[in-house]
Chain A
């Protein structure tokens, strides 16, 4: 008998969460295969069909699907309440799962007609369902929670990003915007990168990093400051982009976002310093590396802005900037965090009814740590070689680097499938 356990919030069902994880793992593999097959395209302008297709598979199929899965799972932890609807979450998955390959195919063959248009419509439907589900989950909560505010605002920016994306897709075949779609590309990209990925990573990371490190550090005021700085930076960027398109003005937005990221770095550093668990495992190391990796695109963006002030745009720098964000920062977070969350979800599914009836395997033993190490090595080597390859415009290096990234994706999928296929074991 449980006498007073109403405080216990029910978890989101694994049936909601797991499809997102599996889809994201396959999308990562698909993106690295395409990258391996398309290294010739990397010497061209960044706005070409293959690079657009890979970028959207990475941003939507890999980054967004994984984050949607994890955020549905983490809703009770982050917003301190139950997920409003599992049906809406399933609907969100199905529409996104169909929409993403359609959009990517549209880009790959550069058919901006029905495949890209229907893809964009389905993706917008998925994001709107997610936003609605999140809003309705939070509406019952009376207390304002900084982490939940980050997540909800990030979802709102994601919707703005995909809505702009939808307009850009239609603008290709039927001009509905004042200028061509290429002009709005940086606006669309930064709405997603800053508004969606950065806000969400900080909102969730500021909750999970101290939790996994068992740290005493907490600083809500600092998190609100970071929230204000990043949103102010993004809002001013939109205003400057639309009404005062002068490069020097962008430095104001850049400074605000940089200060926000720097403050998050400070937050993570203090969480790390005040941790109870002194030994940091391999998975946390990769996750903490992604915090450091946040500064790499910032430095590149600053270089791009300065370059723009002196010269015209440098397409290679933009390509590296995009690569560092999607294959660097976002991928590093996911590679680490998958193995901090997925084993627990599957463990809960498999051992839910056996808990307390004897020893069960530890969630971290449900995947191979050796494969994880191999994945980390292949990933880091591929990432660094790729940057050198772009700098030297060396196709052989780019081929080798993309092969290593493909290898990392294979190792990742191996471990993910190992966790998925885990059967109950009694120790």
Chain B
């Protein structure tokens, strides 16, 4: 958790909120899918800087997932501005799925 944030407590809350965002194609939430790369809190400017990815750059659900990530964070932290950065470096791969995610997929 510490590797992807400058505020582990708030980040835990953010990730909990982001667990409601499901990649509808896979049926798994974006956190366990490994799409969230960074969640930093800029208290001075009241900003959440989030770096995330998609399973593929041309994911048909890309727009929907992007908007859902933004809304979930705005909902969890209404007083903060959400700054999203979509990156494909590094590109997502199956190794990024968490153990809980793999267990879910095999249910």
Contacts and interface: CB of A to CB of B under 8 A. Distances in A.
Contact of A1 (B25, B58, B75, B81): B81
B105 A357 contact: no
Interface in A321-370: 344, 347-348, 351-353, 355-359, 362-364
B88 to A, nearest CB: 6
A311 interface: no
B105 A74 contact: no
A8 B105 contact: no
A58 to B, nearest CB: 27
State the majority secondary structure of interface residues on A. loop
A356 B84 contact: no
B36 to A, nearest CB: 13
Nearest to A2: B84
Contacts of A211: 25, 55-56
Interface residues of A, number: 39
A131 to B, nearest CB: 21
Given A216-B94, A276-B97, A358-B20, A3 B83 contact: yes
Contacts of A1: 81-84
A76 B107 contact: no
Nearest to A5: B86
B74 to A, nearest CB: 8
Interface in A1-51: 1-5, 7-11
Interface string A206-225: 00000110111000000000
B66 A5 contact: yes
Contacts of A351: 64
Interface of B: 20-22, 24-27, 54-72, 75, 81-88, 93-94, 97, 102, 105-107
Complex A-B, nearest 3 residue pairs according to Cβ-Cβ distance, in ascending order: A356-B68, A356-B71, A355-B68
27 contacts: A1-B84, A2-B84, A3-B84, A3-B85, A4-B85, A7-B87, A9-B58, A9-B62, A10-B63, A77-B59, A81-B58, A211-B25, A214-B26, A215-B94, A276-B105, A278-B106, A344-B25, A348-B64, A352-B67, A355-B64, A355-B65, A355-B71, A356-B68, A356-B70, A362-B22, A362-B27, A364-B27
